[in-house]
A and B are shown apart, each in its own frame.
Chain A
Amino acid sequence: MLVENAKDYAIYMLDPQGNVITWNAGAELVEGYRAEEIIGKHLSTFFTPEDAARGMPQDFLKLAEREGKISNEGWRVRKDGSRFWSQGVITALHDEEGTLRGFSKIAHDITREKEAEEEIRHLNEHLEQRVRDRTTQLEAANKELEAFSYSISHDLRAPLRHIAGYIEILQGETADKLDQQAREYLQTVADSAKNLGELIDALLAFSRMGRVEMRRQSVSLAALVEEARRELQRDSEGRDIVWQIGKLPEVQGDAVMLRQVLINLISNALKYTRKRGQVKIEIGANELENEIVFFIRDNGVGFDMKYADKLFGVFQRLHNENGFEGVGIGLANVRRIIHRHGGRTWAEGKPDVGATFYFSIPKIQNGKERL
């Protein structure tokens, strides 16, 4: 018979008082009792002692009689004492006259599903705790970094300032007392101190860029280019420079950071064209569907495309000596800022012909920022 063999389900009948009168194979599996052991016993046998004492089985039966059918869920006890989570339905059975003849009960062991639910809930809580812990760790790391940067800013600068200061005083006081070689040594020390200073400043600016909050607003690239050019006036003074600046759109981004990007890129263009008679710097932008692509092209020393991917690394320099000063952090800063805006950076170059640097800024769609 179908009921007999429905293995996962306990299906049995109770008399009006709640005693078991029939028992199927599934019931034997779920509850653990064989038919001959359980027939005649009360429904409360399957409930936990606490629930039985509270009269829960009787309440269910009364409710079933009143409502006709009720579902119930809870911990039940097997023959061997072990607990399982049961989900079941009790249906009251009446004859044609309406007299209660008994009850049918179907119960399903969903302990595994219940445990899985518990596990998920537990994991979620655990996960949230881990996120909280991780956030705390990150905040602590950030604080450490700030303290570190601050310490550099103050502690390293002071002795460096003393070195630079006393070397210069020494150079002044011994100008005619030292021979050429000695004066060169002094100058080397002075230059190195200056170099070190720039390195520290660059590192600080770089680290600060990572810590600072981004403030998004509508930014005019055209205005930023002008500001950058003004700031770099000294580098372009007295030189033959042809500026070709196309129409530049507005973008969504952090004005201060983007200004730094432009200063770095234009400064590079000015620096690496220093050996050219006539300098040509072309600046423009293309508006694409999802982004704005900005470019700056110069006719300077260029670079070998073989090393293109090194350009934006920290302290990466493709032109070492030969009069190109700087510590090689400008482009790393550019990349970092543009990445924070959700954009990309790349470059093209040809040795002794020139270089073009590109960056993209995503357009904000429907007010949703893409971080």
Chain B
Amino acid sequence: MTKPRWILLAEDNANDADLTMRALLASQSPGEIVHAGDGAEALDCLYRRGSFQLRDDDSPTVVLLDLKMPKVNGLEVLRQIKGDAALKNIPVVIFTSSREQADLAESYHLGANAYVVKPLGYREFVSALTDVKKFWLVINEPPPDVPEPQLAAAA
């Protein structure tokens, strides 16, 4: 029995979230999209706490992660994911406006699996998201099951 594949979208801007959801849902491949409005919510979802306490017992197939978010920003979320034994196998695709070298370097340094710059034109935007969704939810083999995520201990 294969687990359903789903995407965790961490995006703070309402319009970007809306456009992204539309693009992702318009594509042919199935897959639920869960939207976290900021970094803190994204982490709550991954650790299945807070408002995400009652989620099913599995991790997202891929995390689509915006960089500039309030409370906990994208790089911090990335650091926590990749620093946690139970979460680090989850693919993280950075999805951001920024093409700055510093962000690119730091993201990969922290272990991002991919880095996609949000296209300006809508057609390219949809096309990019369709491709990303198809690759990570259909073509790519997700990592095998991992044990319960532990709440981040000190160091």
Contacts and interface: CB of A to CB of B under 8 A. Distances in A.
Contact of A158 (B13, B100, B119): B13
Interface of A: 149-150, 153-154, 157-162, 164-169, 194, 197, 201, 204
B122 interface: yes
Interface centre among B19, B22, B98, by most A CB within 10 Å? B19
Given A160-B120, A164-B122, A166-B19, 13 more contacts: A150-B98, A150-B100, A150-B102, A154-B68, A157-B97, A161-B19, A161-B97, A161-B118, A162-B15, A165-B122, A194-B120, A197-B121, A204-B99
Interface in B92-141: 96-100, 102, 118-123, 125
B32 interface: no
Contact of B19 (A154, A165, A204): A165
Contacts of A162: 15-16, 19
Interface in B4-18: 13, 15-16
- Residues of A contacting B: mostly: helix
A165 B98 contact: no
Nearest to A201: B120
Given A158-B16, A161-B125, A165-B19, A153 B120 contact: no
Nearest to B23: A165
A156 B16 CA distance: 13
The 7 lowest CB-CB distance pairs between A and B, nearest first, are A168-B122, A197-B120, A162-B15, A165-B122, A157-B97, A165-B19, A154-B97
Contacts of A168: 122-123
Nearest to A196: B120
Nearest to A198: B120
Given A154-B68, A162-B15, A169 B100 contact: no
Contact of A164 (B13, B97, B102, B121): B121
Contacts of B22: 169
Nearest to A211: B101
Nearest to B120: A197
Contacts of A161: 16, 19, 97, 118-120, 122, 125
Size category of the binding interface on chain B:
10 to 19
5 contacts: A158-B16, A161-B16, A161-B97, A161-B119, A167-B122
B100 A153 contact: yes
A164 B120 contact: yes
Given A162-B19, A169-B22, A157 B123 contact: no
A182 B119 CA distance: 26
Contacts of B68: 154
Interface centre among A160, A167, A168, A204, by most B CB within 10 Å? A168
A359 B47 CA distance: 58
Interface string B17-36: 00100100000000000000
Contacts of A204: 99
A162 B123 CA distance: 12
A153 B121 contact: no
Nearest to B99: A153
Contacts of B122: 161, 164-165, 167-169
Nearest to A194: B121
Contacts of B100: 149-150, 153
Nearest to A164: B122
A138 to B, nearest CB: 20
A165 B125 contact: yes
A154 B125 CA distance: 16
A159 B97 CA distance: 11
Contacts of A153: 97-100
Nearest to B14: A162
Contacts of B119: 161
B97 A158 contact: yes
